[in-house]
Amino acid sequence: MSTCRLARARTVGVALLVAIAGTLLVPGSSVAFPQRSGEERTSAAGVLHRLVWAETSTGLRNLHLRSSRLDGSDKRRIFDFPRGFTMTLVPDARGRRVAFGTCCRDDMPQLVVAPLLGGPYLEPLAGHPELTAVDGIGWSPDGRSLAFQAITDRDGVRTSSIWTVRLDGSDLREVLTLGDVLSLGPGVHDTVAWTNAGILYTGDGDLRLATDQTSQLVMHGVVSVRVSGDGGRLVLRRHRAGRSQVWIARPDGTGARKVLAWSTDGSSTYYDVTPNYDGTRLLAFRSVTRNHRSENAWVAWDVAEGPGDADVLPLDDDASVVAWN
């Protein structure tokens, strides 16, 4: 997939989330492939370390989620819809499940939690059809609940808010009302991270903390936030002085340090920078322009060493969304 095509896909996805327009999605089934020889490797904490991604399909109109080990082996089929797509994949802390929103109809599952090894999936908002256009998902530190952005219709006004819900659909709570979708403009569906410090989100180009209908500034100039699986590191995307930057910070946003930067008009660009379980490695979609041609790949590298000798991951370069733990 070319860089331009990738950018168009992201723009179309955000527009569709706001407009809630598209073709009806018919629920499919979740099918697990038999596990190959050898047990799944886990860390000392019992964490599975796997890649999860959305396979490319014609016209962004099919949602096919797959997972594998980090070396590409043991590929699993974990979720399929005949139409639609996702903009967000967020594995839980133990690498056992992935949460994601679907796009783009009110009468389809808005929030899904699927096992990364395959099997039955959950729909936490199945009993709440008033919530639509789910995005910006974050797992609670205990793995029992999700925080997310969603839209509700309030007297004809499409209103965006941050909510929390348990995986079984109970205890739905509105944490913060963000406002009228049209007045907020593009970028309302940014990112959410739930750490021991609270629910962090990005809005209007800043990192903020949401608590009981109040919003507190944490850091200026942040356009996305992600949290490592162990909850110990934030990965922040920032724009400063014509350069895109990646910073790593503590769970409350303090102690931030820059670990990557590139010019917005330079030869190398990084998209969807995502930390691994303990924040020591980063994954990203890298596009490098040489001799008027783009070389694209999903790559990963050690934070301490930088992306110069990044490993190319066993993924097609046109996989639309990728995450890991």
Q: What is the CATH number of the domain that holds 191?
A: 2.120.10.30
Contact (CB, 8 A) for 224 and 236: yes
Which structural domain range is residue 288 located in? 3-29+48-324
Closest C-alpha among 116, 120, 124 to residue 144: 124
Number of domains making up the chain: 1
Task: From residue 94, give the alpha-carbon distance in Å to each of 47, 69, 175, 299.
Answer: 4, 14, 25, 22
CA pair distance 269, 36, nearest whole angstrom: 36
What's the confidence (pLDDT) of residue 185? 58
Domain assignment present for 40: no
Domain assignment present for 34: no
Domain assignment present for 35: no
CA pair distance 42, 104, nearest whole angstrom: 35
CA pair distance 132, 111, nearest whole angstrom: 9
What's the confidence (pLDDT) of residue 105? 72
Residue in the structure block whose two tokens are 């060493």: 305
Domain assignment present for 43: no
What's the confidence (pLDDT) of residue 145? 98
CA pair distance 180, 167, nearest whole angstrom: 27
What's the confidence (pLDDT) of residue 3? 41
Domain assignment present for 37: no
Residue burial 39-59, b: 16+ Cβ < 10 Å; e: rest:
eeeeeeeebbbbbbbbbbeee
Q: What is the three-class DSSP state of 161?
A: strand
- What's the start-to-end Cα distance of the chain, in Å? 24
Do the bridges between strand 281-290 and strand 90-91 make them parallel or antiparallel, or are there none, so unpaired? unpaired
What's the confidence (pLDDT) of residue 188? 41
What's the confidence (pLDDT) of residue 190? 62
CA pair distance 60, 274, nearest whole angstrom: 22
Domain assignment present for 78: yes
> How would you class 72 by CB atoms within 10 Å of its CB: exposed for 0-12, middle for 13-18, buried for 19 or more?
exposed
Domain assignment present for 94: yes
| pLDDT digit string (tens) for the chain, length 325 residues | 444 334 434 433 433 333 333 333 333 333 332 232 233 455 556 889 999 999 877 655 678 999 999 999 999 999 998 888 888 999 999 999 999 999 887 667 899 999 999 999 999 999 999 999 999 999 999 999 999 999 999 999 999 999 999 999 999 999 999 999 877 655 444 689 999 999 999 988 899 999 999 999 999 999 999 999 999 999 999 988 888 999 999 999 999 999 999 987 778 899 999 999 999 999 999 999 887 788 899 999 999 999 998 999 999 878 888 999 9
What's the confidence (pLDDT) of residue 59? 56
Amino acid at residue number 285: F
What's the confidence (pLDDT) of residue 35? 31
What's the confidence (pLDDT) of residue 138? 96
Residue in the structure block whose two tokens are 């590191």: 233
Domain assignment present for 39: no
CA pair distance 135, 150, nearest whole angstrom: 7
What's the confidence (pLDDT) of residue 267? 84
What's the confidence (pLDDT) of residue 36? 28
What's the confidence (pLDDT) of residue 228? 96
CA pair distance 24, 303, nearest whole angstrom: 42
